[in-house]
Structure 1
Amino acid sequence: MKFYSAAGLVLAGFIGTAASAFAGPTLDRVTKAGELVNVVDNSYPPFSYINENNEVVGFDIDIAKAVADRLGVKLRIETPGWETIVGGKWQGRWDICICSMTPTEQRAQVLDFPLEYYRSPAVLVVNKDEKAIQSAADLDGKRVGVGTGSTYEAYLDKSIVIPGTKPIDFPFKSVIKVPTDETVAFQDLALGAGVRLDAVVANLATTKERIDAGAPVKIVGKPLYGEPNWIALDKGDAEWNAKVVETINALKADGTLKAISTKWLGADVTAGDF
């Protein structure tokens, strides 16, 4: 099997395909339709979730709205399922994924990642009454919940490689992985220490959101690894990649991204300060 270095993927996969058989089909489609279609996971607060009015809201939604406004079009949100999103081959169904996706070597084979827009660490979460698990080194033989198809699942498999970052430490031998919807994982963890789950691996921001809302869970140990989150696009449209980079950079320069981040997270994660 041919080996591709992380650096090579950053250049070849993330910046986007330099040559395309068709020049700018996505931008043409967005302009003609008058709408930008963004795909997200709708159970990932505070980044994207369904509120009490049955609306999909959050950090990523506000950024997508800002991108659509900058392009002079309306925003439409779709939630086809995370594994469908990361599988690529969108075939024009969706235009963009401002959806808190962390690039991996596998994902870079089917998606373009033109730029990073924020960073947030992965953490280990346990029930508030848990005493035996103090860090990831205590996870051997434990039932650990993770979002299906997430980088957290790959972390438990010890298969995660994030191009452009240092190797991730795996201080456990083996765990009983329980892939599920992240909301369900936290609900199961809330039932009690070891009742259905012993721990959950999740994002720091989403975990804090749930703790602030009253979930009987706590974060233990140090962050497991840093998660760079990038805009994801279907492969093969260099002009669209460039337009997205231009738009996001403009929103960062005029303070829009900082304002959205502060609104939802209380800090500017777009500057790496979270």
Structure 2
Amino acid sequence: MKLRPALALAATLLLAPNFAQAGETLDRVLSTKVLNNVVVDDYPPFTFIDKDNKLAGFDIDVAQAVADKLGVKAVNSVPGWEVITAGRWAGRWDICICSITPTTDRATVLDFIVQYYSSPAVLVVHKDETSIHSIADISGKRVGVGTGSSYEAYLDKTIQIPGEKAIAFPFENPVKVPSDETVNFQNLALGAGVRLDAIVANIATAKGHIDAGAPLKVVGQPLFGEPNWIAVDKGDAEWNAKIVEIIEGLRADGTLKAISEKWLGTDITRNDV
């Protein structure tokens, strides 16, 4: 999928109110020597709790790389997805390197400043499933989605991604089951139709579970392109510009590619695909 430039998204963001003061965030980070990042902890391989009970994954490594460029310490918090996407952080956190997809609603309370990877949403079923071959087959089926995620909005047919083509919804009345995404995958692995019939998720997350031995499979075509951007609280242009500069530098010097290949076995961070 061709990654769009930020112009269309920026036009949307300019319509929303400003909350922060210019330079406030950068001044705070450089003064405290801490970059406070928000993440979720149930989204492997992007963020998860490892065997040592520590946060790990693609997003954690990207946050560390950004902190290194700033000369500060990265501290990752897990306040909850609904809290993250509500915006108005009031200085509690500085940045969301947390695999967030920009939507029209989210852009009213957050600034989406730079895309750092793209990976499509897909439909996942149990390996023994025989009646679901594509998204058109989920009508009346129990479909797991992460609570408050773009996948939940997709089943609600409300998702709008600025700068992306219109999304098709070739299904009617699925039984939406919002939950922790890790729990969704565990429930689907119990068997076809036992607790869930399918899951809508990111292809990289699905592949991670499948490669780890989960008895699942991806069916049909990708559902929609899912560009993931770094988000911040609204209104601090100086902070936004600094983060864009750092991310593009990490892309140019191969750091983002190396992190992606470490966690996903391929480069999903290119800005020309």
TM-score normalised to structure 1 length:
0.94
Show the counterpart of 1:3. none
Q: Any idea what the Cα deviations from partners look like across 1:22-46, whole Å, max 9, x if unmatched? A: 2211001101111101100111000
Report if the CA contact (8 A) 1:96-1:232 is conserved: yes
Match of 2:47 in 1: 48
Q: Counterpart of 1:211? A: 210
* Inter-partner Cα distance in structure 2 for 1:219 and 1:22: 45
Q: How has the CA–CA distance of structure 1 residues 18 and 247 changed in structure 2, closer, same or farther, with 3 Å as cutoff?
A: farther
Hey, what's the Cα distance between the residues in 2 that align with 1:187 and 1:27? 41
Q: What SS does the corresponding residue of 2:170 show, helix, strand or coil?
A: coil
Q: CA deviation at 1:266?
A: 1.1
State, as a whole percentage, how many aligned pairs show the same letter. 65
Paired residues for 1:2-151 under 5 Å = 10-14=9-13, 22-151=21-150
Question: For residues 241 and 118 of structure 1, what CA distance do their matches in structure 2 show?
Answer: 17
Q: Deviations over 1:47-95 (max 9, x none)?
A: 0000000010111110100000000001101001111101101110100
Task: For 2:266, give the aligned amino acid.
Answer: A
Unaligned 5+ runs, structure 1: 1-6
3-state DSSP class of the match of 1:270? Answer: coil
Q: Deviations over 1:162-185 (max 9, x none)?
A: 110111111101111000000011
Identify the residue that residue 186 of structure 1 maps to in structure 2.
185
SS of the aligned residue for 1:103 comes to coil
Q: Structure 1 residues 195 and 273 mapped into 2: Cα distance closer, same or farther (>3 Å)?
A: farther
The alignment covers a number of residue pairs equal to 268
- Give the match's secondary structure for 2:60: helix
- Distance verdict in 2 for CA 1:176–1:57, change over 3 Å: same
Aligned to 1:175: 174
Q: What letter matches 2:177 in structure 1?
A: V
Name stretches of at least 5 consecutive residues in structure 2 with no aligned partner: 1-5
Question: What amino acid is aligned across from residue 157 of structure 2 in structure 1?
Answer: K
Query: Does structure 2 retain, via aligned residues, the 8 Å contact 1:98–1:232?
Result: yes
Partner of 2:164: 165
Q: What is the 5 A alignment of 1:217-256?
A: 217-256=216-255
Q: Secondary structure at the match of 1:269?
A: coil
TM, length-normalised to structure 2: 0.94
AA of the residue aligned to 2:75: R
Taking the aligned partners of 1:201 and 1:97, their CA distance within structure 2 comes to 22
8 Å CA contact retained: 2:17, 2:234: no
Other structure's SS at 2:261 match = helix
Instruction: Give the counterpart letter for 1:61 in structure 2.
Output: I
What is the deviation of 1:272?
5.6
- Aligned CA RMSD, in angstroms, stands at 1.9
Moved more, 100-109 or 245-254: 245-254
Change over 3 Å in CA distance of 1:173–1:190 after alignment to 2 = same
CA offsets, 1:77-128, max 9 Å, x none?
Answer: 1001111101101110100000110000000000000111110000000111
Whole-angstrom distance in 1 between the partners of 2:14 and 2:48: 29
- C-alpha distance in 2 between matches for 1:80 and 1:171: 34
Residue 8 (structure 1) shift: 8.1
Kindly provide the amino acid, as one letter, of the partner of residue 156 in structure 2: D
* Structure 1 CA distance for aligned equivalents of residues 261 and 14 of structure 2: 27
